[in-house]
Homo-oligomer: A and B are copies of this chain.
Amino acid sequence: MKIETVDFFYLAMPEITTAADGSQDALVVRVAAGGHVGWGECEAAPLPSIAAFVCPMSHGACQPVRNSVLGQRLDGQQDIIRIAAQIEYDSMDLLQATHTWSGIEMALWDLLGKARGEPVWKLLGYDRSCRKTPYASQLFGDTPQETLERGRRSRADGFRAVKFGWGPIGRGALNVDVDHLVAAREGLGADGILLVDVGQIFGEDVERASERLPALEAARATWLEEPFAASAYSEYAALAARSTVKMAGGEGAHNFHMARNLIDFGGIGYVQIDCGRIGGIGPAKRVADHARAKGVTYVNHTFTSNLALSASLQPYAGVAEATLCEFPVALQPLAVELTANHIERDGNGEITAPEAPGLGVEIDQAALDRYRVDIEISVGGRTLFSSRAGGDPGKAGMTAMDVAS
């Protein structure tokens, strides 16, 4: 097969707020090759990511992503790995390139799986898709009482594991954070799995983060997620050395090495990979393999649609001992409506990566039109990207190939 087209769909809710909710917009990618179609999703700022696909070349090591993708052979997974290596080299100086490529890479796996009639996890070498315990991923409440109620509601909704993130934690006095952690544990009950995400709030301040450790330990948190900036490995390691609560991180990794470094130098216990940022499913699988070898537990990072959720489950679908998975429970309508089918919990409250070919998630074409944001980019008088393609919903997203070649 030959990669014929790569189309981007920029979707957004009518109002975007400053909440730490990644489902308020989406950048969906459609790839066509050999009569098959694959879908992927970048967990990335849509406009700069599209720009990284269509921009003019700056020099040999700063080429647009399209130069490494359009027209390429796609006969097997070795082709995906080959194209990834070409982008890593030819787009070395184009920082946004890996976020753009992440969604395309997912779509290539989806397409390949559909062409072969196999789920992506089977292409990755797993013989089964193991059950995972989904954790309800939500924000801390504005008050401890609200946090407590959110915990109770999640348990009532059948979630044994709950992650509280962002919100007020780390922004004010220690006792506020302590109150939220006590409330979270109370809301979950004694047997709930409590996960805490502070979204890099401590920057590189190990002392401030350390002050929260006794409360985290008392609340029996399973992990403390992203205490520091994504590449502050020494700070991660320093805090891990002081803590019985394990550190978690990795969503900021935009290549395999960054995630490996966080494991090797940051002393984390859980590595959290977003396939929509790290360069797709291939490098995420490498991280899963490295994590196993190092006794670190792999977890997906997903805060967008079920298309991204399915992609994020594939790299560790067959790793039985990695039982937790992130499962966003408060998605915006666009992220819910984007997929025609959804990954649902079974009777035990567990989920698995789909058995259907590819990523096993169907796109709802009507949702692409309903939430679509029109974009036009022209450089030197030449239109490089235009989403105004008339009434055909299948052509709502267009690329350079359609318009400019």
Contact = CB atoms under 8 A, between A and B. Distances in A.
Interface in A211-241: 229-234
Contact of A380 (B55, B254, B374): B374
A246 to B, nearest CB: 21
Interface of A: 10, 12, 16-22, 24-25, 43-52, 54-64, 85, 88-89, 92-96, 98-99, 199-200, 203-204, 229-234, 252, 254-255, 257-258, 260-261, 264-265, 277, 373-381, 384
Nearest to A258: B231
Contact of A59 (B20, B55, B57, B59): B20
B231 A255 contact: yes
Q: Which secondary structure dominates chain A's binding surface?
A: loop
A306 B384 CA distance: 31
A47 B47 CA distance: 10
Given A199-B61, A374-B379, A377-B47, A95 B56 contact: no
Instruction: Indicate how many identical chains form the complex.
Output: 2
Contacts of A231: 255, 257-258, 261
Contacts of A60: 17-21
Given A45-B55, A48-B94, A377-B377, 11 more contacts: A18-B59, A24-B58, A46-B58, A47-B55, A85-B203, A88-B229, A92-B199, A95-B99, A229-B255, A373-B380, A375-B378
B63 A252 contact: no
B18 A45 contact: no
A217 B200 CA distance: 43
* Residue of A18, A98, A232, A254 contacting most chain B CB atoms (<10 Å): A18
Contacts of A258: 231
A203 B277 CA distance: 20
Contact of A58 (B25, B232, B254, B381): B25
Nearest to A375: B379
Given A257-B229, A265-B261, A48 B46 contact: no
Contacts of A44: 93-95
A375 to B, nearest CB: 5
